[in-house]
Amino acid sequence: MSLREEIEMLCNNAKVASQKMALATTEKKNELLLRMAALLEEETESLVEANREDLDAAEENGISKTMLDRLAISPTRILGICQALRSLVELEDPIGKGESWTRPSGLEISRVRVPLGVVAMIYEARPNVTVDSAALCLKTGNAVILRGGKEAIHTNMAIVRVIKRALDDCGLDPHAVELVESTERESAQILMTMRGFIDVLIPRGGKGLIRSVVENATVPVIETGAGNCHLYVDDSAEVEMALSVAVNAKCSRPSVCNAIETILVHAGVAAKFLPKLAEEMGKYAVELRGCPRTRVLIPTANEATEEDFFTEYNDYIVAIKVVDTLADAISHINKYSTGHSEAIITTNDANAERFLSEVNSAAVYVNASTRFTDGGEFGFGAEIGISTQKLHVRGPMGLSALTTEKYLVRGNGAIR
Amino acid sequence: MSLREEIEMLCNNAKVASQKMALATTEKKNELLLRMAALLEEETESLVEANREDLDAAEENGISKTMLDRLAISPTRILGICQALRSLVELEDPIGKGESWTRPSGLEISRVRVPLGVVAMIYEARPNVTVDSAALCLKTGNAVILRGGKEAIHTNMAIVRVIKRALDDCGLDPHAVELVESTERESAQILMTMRGFIDVLIPRGGKGLIRSVVENATVPVIETGAGNCHLYVDDSAEVEMALSVAVNAKCSRPSVCNAIETILVHAGVAAKFLPKLAEEMGKYAVELRGCPRTRVLIPTANEATEEDFFTEYNDYIVAIKVVDTLADAISHINKYSTGHSEAIITTNDANAERFLSEVNSAAVYVNASTRFTDGGEFGFGAEIGISTQKLHVRGPMGLSALTTEKYLVRGNGAIR
């Protein structure tokens, strides 16, 4: 069987299973989540063992310490994963929710939430994404096809084996979760073109992965995660607040998508703000890359090129630019941003409102850190990722992002 | 300037204009719609003249009478278009609608409806689509790039000239409506790949157009219109109702996407139903193509091939298949349908509910004709098309399909 045939078979199995999953009651789906948690705990030893194989291979390949840490699952981490599964039980099931109305034709129309069907995920290293993604898709009555990274393949196989057992134990179709075991580039390419089988493809990973999906996918896609976020310090800003938010937004966790990459500073506050910013950022050894005017005020800053302003560093590096007006700040953001999260620090209400309405990103903040863009922080309980596209869902994606709607129409022989 | 550069410039102009349109008030947008109506009426003569050029060229190229009729605009039709514009004023503007909540972090989060930004439309013959699409996009604060068919180019140019004047008269940016004047295949291809400029592309047209967009577009797409719709006659059906709905769903307007293409008949009612169906369909000279069991009961029917069941005839042709169970009917539909609209005729409530929940299409009917799948019939007031995809919007698309959401977050120096 060729790789294409293999993946097609897998997709077909998932499609058939999705039709059964769509009919599962909320109770049944919650029973499944609890069973998954119980089995994952029970299988801790074998999961850690499988993970050991991946870690050994990764070490042999000279993978970085950070990557090794992302790849590792310990009994404590498994416990954390299982707690997340149990708390997912508490979340409201969006399936079946809706509204009804009657038309002059006599037709009674209902619009109800239904599962998307088959969700495919292509993602990188972290094995907890395997459990998370499967759980969120199953809770919303979808089937899911997982295609994780090469580094985590043994761990992912062990996890999926356990989830399939949980499905089986609950009288559900084990094909509702499928893992593409080939981690060749080609397997991802084939998956992206499985029209008629896959209802949505969600890539979770770096820029390269997202770009490859956008360029090659023929199935519908939700783009996630690319975050070139900005902080704009207005001339009316409280400098202490601006410093505190800047440090938080850059340094609390530079590797995540809601961290800032560029700070724009109004010329009227630059002389007061920038030297202090340099001092604060110095404490975290952040590399500063500035425009010419910034470098006059911070002589130690390196030069920021045009490319810098397009870059999501995901690191202890920040670009800085002095702007003359709020309008210039907004234009800069709307040109260079990936449309994720942006913030203004200001005491001027008119400027705040203008920033909120003219900045074209999923989440726009006044006097707060961009680090809050997160399903948990927004109160959604769970998060599948953060959408940077405008279609279907924007910003943090809760359970309803994995659903669509359907019209049910009842008549008594009505013709038009 | 190359065609690509030309289209890029046009896209860039539309993008800049979209940022201004997004800020237009509901009153301003309604003023614009009324101004468009007034100017289109005023310009009736020049519009009809431009249309004459297209009609002459079409006649020379030996285009069919039906196509000529679709292409033609008369003073009466212009009046109809203007009435539609005026009634659009009455519809509620979704922009700015939303909800707010406060989080334990102290953040106040609002989720509000905002325009998508730049909407691109690629469509075929009918020039009324030019006005419709532009009006719906402008009412929702979007800019729009129109790429109509070659046959209507003079009419479209004249219409867009009038709309640009209306924009200008209202103090809005005339670039909020742009027409791609090149009707070469290449111009559509280029438009589909304008990432960073186009927020959504909506193709309106035949199967070939939709397929080309799905395969080549790198911008987000809403698929519309393909309708391989089914009617299933249950063994418990009232035969008179089944006949009436079948005739309405097939013959009232065979060229539209919500007309049926295949009738599935339960074996238990086939002998009673099919001969009568043949008689009724005969009145409209409908060609019947049946499975072997159908052809025993309707000896005049032609043979239906596998390909027939995949075909949207858009014509006085219908495929017929006898099935043994409701489950077989549902499987057939979920395999061959384009996910548009399907109906069951039954007096059995359990069968009705099973059909509603297991058929995987945008609109599912019990005892009614599929011809009701329509924005007007559903009560949405306006319709941009009928989505057959599951992402973003499904079924008839009202104004809100042209919007997305955005999170506005207000804090007081909150850090995470």
- Residue span(s) of chain A under CATH 3.40.309.10 come to 229-376
Residue contact B365–A411, C-beta within 8 A = yes
By three-state DSSP, how is residue A390 classified? coil
**The pLDDT of residue A225 is above 80:** no
Please give the pLDDT value at position A382. Answer: 80
Of A195, A28, A331, which is closest to residue B215 (Cα–Cα)? A195
- Least Cα separation, residue A412 to chain B (angstroms): 5
**For residue B347, which residues of chain A lie inside 8 Å, CB to CB?**
none
Please list every residue in chain A whose beta carbon sits closer than 8 Å to the beta carbon of residue B363.
406-407, 409
Sort out which chain B residues have CB atoms less than 8 A from A238's CB and list them: 413
A117 to chain B: which residues are within 8 Å by CB?
360, 390
- How many angstroms away from the CA of A203 is the closest CA of chain B? 15
CATH 3.40.605.10 domain span(s) along chain B:
3-222+397-410
Torsion sign across C-alpha atoms A58, A59, A62, A65: positive
| pLDDT value of residue B96 | 96
What does the pLDDT read at residue A226? Answer: 86
CA nearest B223 in A: which residue? A220
Judge whether A206 and A224 are in contact, CB under 8 Å.
no
Backbone angles phi, psi at A414, to 5 degrees: -60, 130
Find the helix or strand (DSSP H, E) in which B148 lies. Answer: none
The pLDDT tens digits along chain B (416 residues) read: 899 999 999 999 999 999 999 999 999 999 999 999 999 999 999 999 999 999 999 999 998 887 888 899 999 999 999 999 999 999 999 999 999 999 999 999 999 999 999 999 999 878 988 999 999 999 999 999 999 999 999 999 999 999 999 999 999 999 999 999 999 999 999 999 999 899 999 998 877 888 889 888 989 999 887 899 999 999 999 999 999 999 999 999 998 899 999 999 999 999 999 999 999 999 999 999 999 999 999 999 999 999 999 999 999 999 999 999 999 999 999 999 999 999 999 999 999 999 999 999 999 999 999 999 999 999 998 888 899 999 999 999 999 999 999 999 999 999 99
pLDDT band of A209, cuts 50, 70, 90: confident
Cross-chain CB nearest to A252 (options B248, B373, B416)? B416
What is the distance in angstroms between the CA of the first residue and the CA of the last residue of chain B? Answer: 50
In angstroms, the CA B132 to CA B135 distance is: 5
B390–A116 C-beta distance less than 8 A: yes
Reported as a single tens digit per residue, the pLDDT across B336-377 is: 999 999 999 999 999 999 999 999 999 999 999 999 999 999
- DSSP output for B168-192: HHTTS-GGGEEE----SHHHHHHHT
Indicate which of A207, A390, A403 best probes the interface with B, i.e. most B CBs within 10 Å of its own CB. Answer: A390
Superfamily of A3-222+397-410 according to CATH: Aldehyde Dehydrogenase; Chain A, domain 1 (3.40.605.10)
With CB atoms and an 8 Å threshold, state whether A103 touches B379.
yes
Average the pLDDT over A224-241 and give the result.
95
| pLDDT value for A384 | 86
Question: How distant, in Å, are the alpha carbons of A219, B203, B322, B345 from that of B264?
Answer: 29, 30, 6, 10
Nearest chain B Cα to A21, which residue? B358
Rounded Cα distance between A99 and A104, Å, is 17
Residue of A nearest to B12 (CA): A335
Exposed/middle/buried for residue B4 (C-beta within 10 Å: 0-12, 13-18, 19+): middle
pLDDT score of A131: 95
Mutate to test the interface with B, among A23, A228, A404 (most CBs of B within 10 A): A404
Q: Which residues of A touch B199 (CB under 8 A)?
A: 390-391
Distance from the B187 Cα atom to the nearest Cα atom in chain A, whole angstroms:
19
Can you give the pLDDT at residue B248? 98
Yes or no, beta carbons of A415 and B199 under 8 Å apart: no
Q: Spell out which residues of chain B touch residue A252, defining contact as CB-CB under 8 Å.
A: 415-416
Q: What is the DSSP letter of B128?
A: H
Q: Please give the ipTM for the structure prediction.
A: 0.93
> Is the confidence at residue A52, as pLDDT, over 90?
yes
Closest approach of chain B CAs to the CA of A50, in angstroms?
Answer: 35
Number of H helices, E strands in chain A: 16, 16
Residue of B362, B367, B416 lying closest to A369 (CB–CB): B416
pLDDT value, residue B82: 96
In percent, how much of chain A has pLDDT > 70? 100
Helix-helix angle A153-169:A44-60, to 10 degrees: 160
CA distance B402 to B118: 10
- Chain B contacts of A105, Cβ < 8 Å? 372, 377
Q: A218–B218: do the CB atoms touch at under 8 Å?
A: no
Q: H helices within B22-139, ranges in order? A: 26-42, 44-60, 65-71, 75-90, 128-139
Of B357, B363, B372, which is closest to A414 when you measure between CB atoms?
A: B372
Which residue, among B212, B228, B193, B172, has the nearest Cα to B18 in the 3D structure?
B172
Chain A residues with CB inside 8 Å of B215's CB? 218
Q: What is the pLDDT of residue B211?
A: 84
Residue A105 has its nearest CB partner, among B222, B352, B377, at B377
Query: How much is the pTM?
Result: 0.92
Q: Which of B200, B358, B367 sits opposite A412 (nearest CB)?
A: B367
Specify whether the CB–CB gap between A181 and A62 falls below 8 A: no
Note whether A407 contacts B363, CB cutoff 8 Å.
yes
Q: Is the dihedral of CA A361, A362, A365, A368 positive or negative?
A: negative
Task: Give A347-374 pLDDT, tens digit per residue.
Answer: 999 999 999 999 999 999 999 999 999 9
pLDDT given at position B302: 98
Say whether pLDDT at A44 is over 80.
Answer: yes
Chain A, chain B: beta-carbon pairs less than 8 Å apart: 196
Chain A residues closer than 8 Å to B410 by CB: 352, 365-368
Q: What percent of chain A has pLDDT over 90?
A: 88
Nearest to B391 among A200, A248, A377 (CB): A200
Structure token pair of residue A225? 């995660």
Tokens of A137: 């898709």
Q: How confident is the model at residue A210 (pLDDT cuts 50, 70, 90)?
A: confident
The pLDDT, as a whole number, for residue B246 is: 98
Q: Which residue has the tokens 């996630």?
A: A224
What is the three-class DSSP state of B317? Answer: strand
CB contact under 8 A, A372 and B409: yes
pLDDT of residue A264: 98
Helix (H, G, I), strand (E, B), or coil: what is residue A361? Answer: coil
Of the candidates A91, A36, A117, A41, the one whose C-alpha atom is nearest the C-alpha of residue A383 is A91
CB contact under 8 A, A23 and B357: yes
pLDDT value at A125 more than 80: no
Pair B231, B259: CB distance under 8 Å: no
Residue B142 near residue B21, CB atoms below 8 Å: yes
- Mutation choice for B interface testing from A407, A410, A412 by most B CBs within 10 A: A407
The Cα–Cα gap between A109 and A103 comes to: 8
Cα distances (Å, whole numbers) of residue A395 to A95, A137, A180, A362, B88: 21, 18, 28, 5, 30
User: Which CATH class, in words, describes the domain spanning B229-376?
Assistant: alpha beta
- Beta carbons of B415 and A105 less than 8 Å apart: no
Interface test with A, best of B107, B110, B114, B233 (most A CBs within 10 A): B107
Question: Which of A220, A372, A408 comes nearest B364 by C-beta?
Answer: A408
CB contact under 8 A, B19 and A360: yes
